[in-house]
Homo-oligomer: A and B are copies of this chain.
């Protein structure tokens, strides 16, 4: 299918020229992302995929296009499919359906202007690409993030005995640390246990006992033992691996109020200080920024929420620029599934940064060179430092 072109990310707004040009051109490191759909989805599946919170189909009385994210898809992605910006939802869907999944991905992914994807492979699904395939479709390299809970489940499901579990887990982390592909780890403690748990480093004897309990459960295993999760986090730190932490916004299976990142204080105060990356963080972005000021090893992003807030993401990106040093924030899309999300994360972040920093420049609160340097730190350099790229 003949695709179209990305519209100017500063269409309709006024951003100082040099800053705008830089934001149009800079290639970003998307430090937390998932695969794109590699298989066809129907409209119901697509609409469900652009609702993060719900785990049900979108109800008949509404369409998920009627949301901030839906508006942003119509605005920015319709032209990528050769439609006018803000084409109607039905027109968008009709046109999108003419593209094969790989055509869609090839039409969308390059428009993200990303130089590297750092891919969480922990939640694979059947419909989304591997990192290799994402690289193939987008033309840029991928690195990998190892999900700690998944690693534990895989080991125990694969026949590792409880007694061997601590050593096997450490060996897998050492292999990850030695691999050129794996640049960090991730915990979804938010989904499994919440943050208000005991975070001290457990003894191996306790780990073995809990692994035995877990291994006795029906398959597929679901690790929801705080002690085993704490074990994974402390072992990742002991192996010098950066640790991404899902914080805040996610689906309704998590207790959002129990993912306030302040509840991580007992861990952050005592752990080995490998880089911690607080992901998403909405609506706790101010708390996350505060932690990034308070701890040398804490960094954060507002990915995922940028996409879901659409036009309102400018307010979120602004709140993320409150108390944190500029060296402690990163860019991510947290896109999963529709390649629209891989593009939009980037477009909305660039536009928000231009609007916010452009206003700072105009009001004399920083120089245009300062603004450009802030963009480069958050969009590129901090990720290079944190992951040793």
A interface, CB within 8 angstroms of B: 11-13, 51-54, 56, 59, 61-62, 64, 66-68, 71-72, 75, 85-86, 249, 251-252, 255-257, 260, 262-263, 265, 268-269, 282-283, 286-287, 290-291, 293-296, 305, 308-312, 315-316, 318-319, 321-328, 360, 362-367, 370, 373-374, 377, 385
> CB-CB < 8 A to A324: which residues of B?
67
- Are A367 and B54 closer than 8 Å at their CB atoms? no
Pick from B53, B66, B282, B365: contact of A310, CB under 8 Å? B365
Residue of B nearest to A85 (CB): B364
> CB-CB < 8 A to A67: which residues of B?
293, 323-326
- Are A290 and B249 closer than 8 Å at their CB atoms? yes
- Are B296 and A322 closer than 8 Å at their CB atoms? no
> CB-CB < 8 A to A296: which residues of B?
54, 56, 59
Q: How far is the CB of A78 from chain B (nearest CB, A)?
A: 12
Q: Measured between alpha carbons, how far is A63 from B68 in the docked complex, in Å? A: 37
- Are B249 and A255 closer than 8 Å at their CB atoms? no
Q: How far is the CB of A126 from chain B (nearest CB, A)?
A: 24
Q: Measured between alpha carbons, how far is A325 from B51 in the docked complex, in Å? A: 9
- Are B68 and A323 closer than 8 Å at their CB atoms? yes
Residue of B nearest to A51 (CB): B293
Name 7 A/B residue pairs within 8 A (Cβ), A-sorted. A12-B364, A62-B325, A66-B377, A67-B325, A67-B326, A68-B323, A252-B265
Pick from B309, B318, B327: contact of A322, CB under 8 Å? B309
If A68-B323, A86-B370 are given as contacts, then 4 extra A-B residue pairs at C-beta distance below 8 Å, sorted by A number, are A66-B326, A75-B365, A257-B260, A309-B322
Pick from B59, B269, B360: contact of A252, CB under 8 Å? B269
Closest 9 CB pairs of A and B: A53-B294, A12-B364, A62-B327, A252-B294, A53-B293, A257-B262, A283-B286, A12-B363, A311-B365
Q: How far is the CB of A238 from chain B (nearest CB, A)?
A: 20
Residue of B nearest to A66 (CB): B326
Residue of B nearest to A328 (CB): B62
> CB-CB < 8 A to A310: which residues of B?
365
- Are A52 and B366 closer than 8 Å at their CB atoms? no
Q: Measured between alpha carbons, how far is A191 from B100 in the docked complex, in Å? A: 55
> CB-CB < 8 A to A251: which residues of B?
294
Pick from B53, B293, B316: contact of A290, CB under 8 Å? B53
If the complex has contacts A366-B75, A377-B66, are A321 and B312 also in contact, measured as CB distance less than 8 A?
yes
> CB-CB < 8 A to A257: which residues of B?
260, 262-263, 287
If the complex has contacts A61-B385, A296-B56, are A362 and B68 also in contact, measured as CB distance less than 8 A?
no
> CB-CB < 8 A to A59: which residues of B?
296
Q: Measured between alpha carbons, how far is A290 from B308 in the docked complex, in Å? A: 10
Q: Measured between alpha carbons, how far is A176 from B293 in the docked complex, in Å? A: 37
Q: How far is the CB of A117 from chain B (nearest CB, A)?
A: 24
Q: Measured between alpha carbons, how far is A374 from B67 in the docked complex, in Å? A: 9
Most buried by B among A59, A251, A310, A363: A363
